[in-house]
Amino acid sequence: MSEKLTIFQKPTCSKCRATLAILKDSGVDFDSVNYYETPITQEKLRELVSKLNLTLRDILRKDEPLARDLGSISDEELIKIMVDNPDLIQRPIVVRGDEARVCRPPENVNELL
C-alpha cells in the first residue's frame, strides 16, 4: 500500500491517542485531522462511511446523550446532525486509499499498515 494514511481524530480521546502512538511507532507517513478544528463535511462523512463499508448508523456513537434522542430520522437528517455534532461520530477513523477503519480498538489500524 503506497497511499498516505489519514487519521480523523479528537486529541482528548484516549483511543485516538493510542492509535496515533501506533502510527508514530510504525514509522509510516500520515496526516492527522482534528475534526473539531477542521470539521468533517457532509460529503466527507459520506465518503468515510463508504470507505468503511458501514452504514451511517454503524458509526453513530449511540451512548452520546443526543444520539439517544434521535429516534427514527432519515439518513439525510442524521448526517447533518452528525456533522454539526462531531461527538456523535465514532473515532478515530483511519483512511488509506479506498479503505478505512474505525480504530476501536486502536490495533485495528494495523489492518491498514
- Residues annotated as part of the active site: 13
Q: Residue 24: which of 39, 35, 37, 9 has the closest Cα?
A: 9
- The rounded distance, in Å, linking the Cα atoms of 81 and 61 is 12
**Beta bridge mates, 33:** 8
- The rounded distance, in Å, linking the Cα atoms of 40 and 80 is 11
